[in-house]
Amino acid sequence: MEIIDRPAPPTGLRRLLWRLPIRLYRLGLGPLLGRRVMLLTHTGRVSGLPRQAVIEVVQKDADGCVAASGFGPRADWYRNIMANPDVTLQIGGERVQATAAPVPTAEGGEIMARYAPRHPAAARRLCKLMGFAVDGGVEDYRQVGHHIPFVRFTPRPPSRTA
């Protein structure tokens, strides 16, 4: 694994293109994107206003789901949820209240090492997009996973109103 060039989060036209899936969710077409993509609604760390991002679910298990911040800790959604971890997720047509927490670096490496063989083409594209050159071996992906912040979203029980 080699770090070629870590890109900054997209701006301008690239940002508009990255945000197109949000419009699909707003139009009720989120289920068309499948269960590997989720709409994350979070609170802006400065504005306090609701913000949204569409991110890939890289792992789903009994404890919730995990996503990676491909643009690293500089991504706005990542910085926002680190400031306020109470979020809403929409995967397909299902909405869930959740709490976000960073995944330890070693566990992130293991998550990436398991993700790559399940989705080899996506893993190669993601690594290239994030500025990593990989040879396709599991150890390369494990090293990439050590450089990417992963977040676990744990569902919260529904609140009861009296």
Q: What is the pLDDT of residues 98-128, one digit of tens each?
A: 999 999 999 999 999 999 999 999 899 888 8
Count other Cβ atoms within 10 Å, centred on residue 40: 23
Higher pLDDT, 8 or 72: 72
- With a cut of 60, say whether residue 19 has pLDDT above it: yes
CATH number assigned to the domain comprising residue 79: 2.30.110.10
| Mean pLDDT along residues 65-92 | 94
Query: Which pLDDT band holds residue 52 (cuts at 50, 70, 90)?
Result: very high
Query: Which ranges of the chain does DSSP label H, i.e. alpha helix?
Result: 12-18, 20-26, 76-83, 105-118, 120-129, 138-147
Mean pLDDT of the chain: 90
Q: Which domain holds residue 7?
A: 2-103+150-155
Residue 118 lies in a domain: no
Q: Are 93 and 31 contacting, i.e. CB atoms less than 8 angstroms apart?
A: yes
Q: What is the pLDDT of residue 12?
A: 82
Is residue 7 scored above 80 in pLDDT? no
Answering whether pTM is above 0.85, one says yes
Q: Which residues pair with 3 in a beta bridge?
A: 132
Contact criterion met (CB below 8 Å) for 55 and 40: yes
Helix (H) or strand (E) holding 31: none
**Rounded to an integer, what distance in angstroms lies between the CA atom of residue 124 and that of residue 24?**
26
The pLDDT, as a whole number, for residue 129 is: 81
CA distance 138 to 76: 29
Residue 97 to residue 118: CA distance in whole angstroms: 27
Total domains in the chain come to 1
Most trustworthy range by pLDDT among 9-18, 44-53, 68-77: 44-53
The pLDDT of residue 74 is 87
In angstroms, the CA 97 to CA 87 distance is: 6
56 located within any domain: yes
The yes-or-no verdict on residue 143 having pLDDT over 90 is yes
Instruction: Count CB atoms within 10 A of the CB of residue 135.
Output: 9
Q: Say if 161 falls within a structural domain.
A: no
Q: Is residue 24 part of a domain?
A: yes
> Lowest mean pLDDT: which of 10-19, 48-57, 89-98, 151-160?
10-19
Structure tokens of 90? 């929409």
Q: Is residue 29 in a domain?
A: yes
Residue 142, domain member (yes or no): no
Q: Is the four-CA dihedral 90, 91, 92, 96 of positive or negative sign?
A: negative
Residue scoring higher pLDDT (83 or 127) = 83
